Amino acid sequence: MIMEDRILQKHLSEILGRDAAIYPVAPGRLQLAVPYYHADGDPMEIYALSGSEDGTVVLTDCAMTLMRLSYTETISDSLVDDIKKLVNQYGFDFEGGQISTKAPIGSLSSYIANFAMTISKVMGLSQLSKNRNVSKFKENVDAFIMQNLKKYNPQKDYVIDDQDDVKADYRLVNPTAKDIQLFIFPIINTSNAIEVWGTLQFCLNAKILFRSLVACENHSKLSNVALKRMANNSDSFLLYEDDFYANAEQKIERLTQIT
């Protein structure tokens, strides 16, 4: 049995609550206006298809992610292959230029979050970003960490899991408990925060022993959902750039004492 548009829209509204709005955009297709954004601030294009089996919803980006890439990148066969490999690593399908998955209604919120994280990962492929300017905030944070936290032997772009391409921006050696890793994540916007949240969730699910510090350039650039997730999932959360420079050393020292 498949759900009609109006029934699916009602279900989605009840599940996603006030953080989302649902709009019919075509017969059998609903757009989910959820608080996930690209690096430039534009909302991510995520749709639900009503022609789904009872108890599941098909999520798709309707190839809008690939279209967005085409504005600045040459969509070569090798690039499409890389995107497909990355999307498949996160458990989703990539066919005909579309990212899609079949999600159980009961787990829809987490599926949407992971779907958005996958879109963010696709947009953030290193080969796509090679000609883009590096954030001045991240440059400053890098200089601070390498100079002021060098006693912790910081490692940049530390690979947590090679198979799933999961990385921490910085890994510090914990002098108190060497089996507990220390991760630092500077974030500049909601899209960046989605990636970091996904990394933290991966570490928690994989039962990795770690402590984390997340530093915002300015918390006002993040959606309310992203702010809540950062606050709930990180061990230390700094809201402004100046807070990081003033408090990072003390915060890291405290994290080394948590066992």
Q: What percent of the chain has pLDDT over 90?
A: 41
pLDDT at residue 130 greater than cutoff 50: no
pLDDT recorded at residue 1: 44
Q: What percent of the chain has pLDDT over 70?
A: 92
Q: Which domain holds residue 229?
A: 136-257
Largest interatomic CA distance in the chain? 61
Let me know whether 98 and 195 are in one domain: no
Which of 100-109, 119-128, 155-164 has the weakest average pLDDT? 119-128
CATH number, domain of 200, equals 3.40.1350
Helical packing angle, 108-123 and 77-89, nearest 10° = 150
Let me know whether 9 and 123 are in one domain: yes
Q: Which two tokens stand for residue 216?
A: 């915002």
Q: Which two tokens stand for residue 259?
A: 């066992």
Give 27-79 pLDDT, tens digit per residue: 888 899 888 887 667 888 999 987 666 678 899 999 999 998 887 777 888 88
Let me know whether 176 and 229 are in one domain: yes
Alpha carbons 80 and 84: distance in angstroms, whole number: 6
> Taking a C-beta distance cutoff of 8 angstroms, is the pair 213, 236 a contact?
yes
pLDDT recorded at residue 134: 60
Query: 92 burial class (0-12, 13-18, 19+ CB within 10 angstroms)?
Result: buried
Contacts of 133 (CB under 8 A, 6+ apart): none
Number of domains in the chain: 2
pLDDT at residue 183 greater than cutoff 90: yes
pLDDT recorded at residue 92: 95
DSSP code per residue over 172-210: E--SS-TTSEEEEEEE-SHHHHHHHHHHHHHHHHTT--E
Let me know whether 85 and 201 are in one domain: no
User: 130 or 56: whose pLDDT is higher?
Assistant: 56
Let me know whether 114 and 22 are in one domain: yes
The secondary element (H helix, E strand) that includes residue 136 is helix 136-148
The secondary element (H helix, E strand) that includes residue 211 is strand 210-216
R_g of the chain, CA atoms, integer Å? 19
> Taking a C-beta distance cutoff of 8 angstroms, is the pair 191, 120 a contact?
yes
pLDDT recorded at residue 52: 61
Alpha carbons 6 and 74: distance in angstroms, whole number: 39
CATH number, domain of 64, equals 3.30.1460.10
Cα angle for residues 64, 69, 75 (degrees, 5° grid): 110
Q: Tell me the pLDDT band of 9, cut-offs 50, 70 and 90.
A: confident
Let me know whether 12 and 123 are in one domain: yes
Q: Mean pLDDT over residues 7-21, rounded? A: 77
Residues comprising the chain, all counted: 259
Q: Tell me the pLDDT band of 127, cut-offs 50, 70 and 90.
A: very low
Residue 244, helix vs strand vs coil: helix
Let me know whether 186 and 122 are in one domain: no
pLDDT at residue 102 greater than cutoff 60: yes
Residue 149, helix vs strand vs coil: coil
pLDDT recorded at residue 258: 73
pLDDT recorded at residue 259: 66
pLDDT recorded at residue 172: 95
226: DSSP letter? H
pLDDT recorded at residue 19: 72
Let me know whether 100 and 182 are in one domain: no
- What mean pLDDT is reported for the chain? 85
Q: Which of 108, 129, 150 is the last residue of a domain?
A: 129
Q: Which of 129, 159, 175 is the last residue of a domain?
A: 129
Let me know whether 181 and 222 are in one domain: yes
Cα angle for residues 189, 194, 7 (degrees, 5° grid): 115
pLDDT recorded at residue 129: 47
Q: Which of 113, 129, 145 is the last residue of a domain?
A: 129
